[in-house]
Amino acid sequence: MNMLARAGAAVFFPSCGQVRSMATLKDITIRLKSVKNIQKITKSMKMVAAAKYSRAERALKPARVYGTGALSLYEKADIKAPEDKNKHLIIGVSSDRGLCGAIHSSVAKTMKNEIAKLTGAGKEVMVVNVGDKLRGLLYRTHGKHILINCKEVGRKPPTFTDASIIATELLDSGYEFDQGSVIYNRFRHVTPNAIYLESVISYRTDEKPLFSMETVANSENMGVYDDIDADVLRNYQEFTLVNIIYYSLKESTTSEQSARMTAMDSASKNASEMIDKLTLTFNRTRQAVITKELIEIISGAAALLGSKNGAYCGSAHLLIRLNATKTNTNLRRFVDLNLSKRCQAAPADGTDGGWF
């Protein structure tokens, strides 16, 4: 019994390392499977974003007329807000969806800089967030400046009705601003052979000016339009506000889909690199585990076969075979084929007979 206990101790304790190695292999396998699943998701999202980007780009071309035409009166009349006017409105255009790079943070950063600049000049600033992502980025630091939060943006292509709803919410809020601006991401085509560093990004954060009806009516250059009454001017201002918001939504949507397509393509490439590294790590770890356990089995067999007691080989064969069974089928076959022969042929002088 004491001899059997010593034999069990000699073979059993090295197997603790096998348990840790097998756990490591299991962890690598789980992680490898997770990365492969994530790669499938990113590739699918890239294809979906590419299809949506194609539709958004086609819809953007006619929508740009609204953006340029809405500001024609402001430019020709050279309308500017007086210096003594302190109420300023900022409309930030974003969406509710993420995984599109720095689209949302770029708009939020520009809005934060504009708020800091205007408040430093002693002006009152209020913010309209179009998209839930902007609300999340500005709520903690600039919550007191938020006037309206608009959600459910970006799930479907924007329409003129959506812009009308946002403009109606703003007009019904009762906030009388003197001057304002719309901050959004303007889409631009990326030339493949461009040498400029900034051309890598397919969008640029831009802004459009806004003026209240009082500011436009009191402008010096508006005196040349004698036939414009208050009702016509009010209707024009409301229509201009809707046009600018609609144009900004179209630009922002196209920029978002383009950025998401680029981000998902980059994520898929990173996943491929990670899969290659994890596969290499798994193969190296697996080979190391097999080599280590094979060495332990052979070393244990060599130590046990050196005994002068022939009956000792039977217990050694059993213990080593049990240990090999946990490791690999080929190792078990190796033990069955070779160890039994060596036990039978073990010399009486206690040597290994040149088997090891």
Q: Rounded CA gap, 203 and 188, in Å?
A: 6
**DSSP helix/strand/coil, 332:** helix
Written as six digits, the tokens of 13 are 């304790």
Instruction: Tell me what the pLDDT averaged over the chain comes to.
Output: 79
Q: Rounded CA gap, 92 and 79, in Å?
A: 22
pLDDT at residue 57 in the model:
93
Give percent of the chain above pLDDT 90. 46
Return the minimum-mean-pLDDT range out of 15-24, 100-109, 286-295.
15-24
Return the minimum-mean-pLDDT range out of 93-97, 172-176, 288-292, 323-327.
323-327
pLDDT at residue 305 in the model:
64
Domain limits, CATH 3.40.1380.10, in the chain: 59-260
- Dihedral angle at the C-alpha atoms of 208, 153, 88, 124, nearest 10 degrees? -150
pLDDT tens figures, 65-86: 888 888 887 877 778 777 777 8
Average pLDDT over residues 315-335: 53
pLDDT at residue 341 in the model:
54
User: Burial of 174 by CB count in 10 Å (0-12 exposed, 13-18 middle, 19+ buried)?
Assistant: exposed
Q: At residue 206, does pLDDT exceed 80?
A: yes
Average pLDDT over residues 320-344: 54
Return the minimum-mean-pLDDT range out of 1-5, 77-81, 82-86, 203-207.
1-5
The DSSP-derived string for 161-200 is: HHHHHHHHHHHHTT---SEEEEEEEEE-PPPTT---GGGG
pLDDT at residue 22 in the model:
54
Please tell me the pTM assigned to this model.
0.74
pLDDT at residue 155 in the model:
86
CATH of domain 59-260: 3.40.1380.10
User: Burial of 146 by CB count in 10 Å (0-12 exposed, 13-18 middle, 19+ buried)?
Assistant: middle
Q: At residue 344, does pLDDT exceed 80?
A: no
| pLDDT grade for 2, boundaries at 50, 70 and 90 | very low
Give percent of the chain above pLDDT 70. 73
Q: At residue 349, does pLDDT exceed 60?
A: no
Q: Rounded CA gap, 271 and 264, in Å?
A: 10
pLDDT tens figures, 210-227: 888 888 877 777 766 666
Q: At residue 247, does pLDDT exceed 90?
A: yes
Which whole-number Å values give the CA distances from 1 to 290, 301, 306, 313, in the listed order? 31, 19, 18, 14
For residues 44-56, one letter each, b for 16 or more C-beta atoms within 10 angstroms of the residue's C-beta and e for the rest, the string is: ebbeebeebbeeb
pLDDT at residue 282 in the model:
93
